[in-house]
Amino acid sequence: MSYLVVVAHPDDEVLGAGATMHKLSQAGHSVNVCILSGEVNVRNFRPTLDELYEDVNNSMNILGVDQVITGNFPNIKFNNVAHLKLVQFIEAAIKKTNATVVFTHHPADLNNDHFHTSIACQAAARLFQRRSDVPSLKELLFMEVPSSTDWALNKGMNPFSPNTFIEVGENSLDKKIEALAQYRGVMRDFPHPRSKEAIKGLAAYRGGQSGMIYAEAFESVFKRIK
């Protein structure tokens, strides 16, 4: 199986699905990441570009990621980018990785780049219906990204509603936290949602909710069973 995690910014992939990525890679699956804004130019406390690329590489190595595909779309300005350009970039990543399962942001996330990433990814997920050389998509899932999905305050949009829970266990959860710590300036002290304690607490809550030893939660919005 080939999995693709499509995100707006570096570290979103770890926050949303880091432990699952590690679990899948350890099971022998191909795990790949597509980051639309690879340079995140307006991020507070962002290191130099070379340091950021080093952080991405170190983080992905910990999780066992095969490929990282990065774009240069402007940070916090996806609303000014032609929708088609985002869609086509994601389509190219799907084709390059032969992805059959795709994870991306929930469209109700507070971060506007997350919203546009999600909408574009939903459109790109239909690629297999138009291209015979692309494997059929088996599933599309939305992730929860702490400090963004939990701030979905717009009541006009459906909030994140998990219906899929993946047991990750303590080892993969620890790898998620280790991978996130590779990103300089990203983690915060408790009780911030990007603190070690909060991330572990969320996994414990999702695990307790589903009867598992630590879990990451997702909202499966498209699934094909044959």
CA separation for the pair 85, 83 (Å, rounded): 5
Kindly tell me if the per-residue pLDDT of 124 is higher than 70.
yes
Residue 160's closest CA among 145, 171, 172, 139? 145
Secondary structure E strands in 48-156:
67-70, 101-104, 139-143
Do residues 106 and 219 touch, judged by C-beta distance below 8 A?
A: yes
Residue 69's closest CA among 21, 102, 35, 101? 35
Kindly tell me if the per-residue pLDDT of 41 is higher than 80.
no
Q: Which fold has domain 2-223?
A: Rossmann fold (3.40.50)
- Give percent above pLDDT 90 in the chain: 90
Residue 44's closest CA among 170, 151, 183, 142? 183
CA separation for the pair 163, 180 (Å, rounded): 25
pLDDT bracket for residue 42 (50, 70, 90) = low
Q: Is 208 left (phi over 0), alpha (psi -120 to 50) or beta?
A: alpha
Do residues 31 and 21 touch, judged by C-beta distance below 8 A?
A: yes
CA separation for the pair 84, 82 (Å, rounded): 5
> What are the distances in angstroms from CA 42 to CA 45, 74, 75?
9, 9, 6
pTM of the model: 0.97
59-75 average pLDDT score: 97
Which pair of tokens denotes residue 99?
């992805």
Kindly tell me if the per-residue pLDDT of 181 is higher than 70.
yes
Kindly tell me if the per-residue pLDDT of 95 is higher than 90.
yes
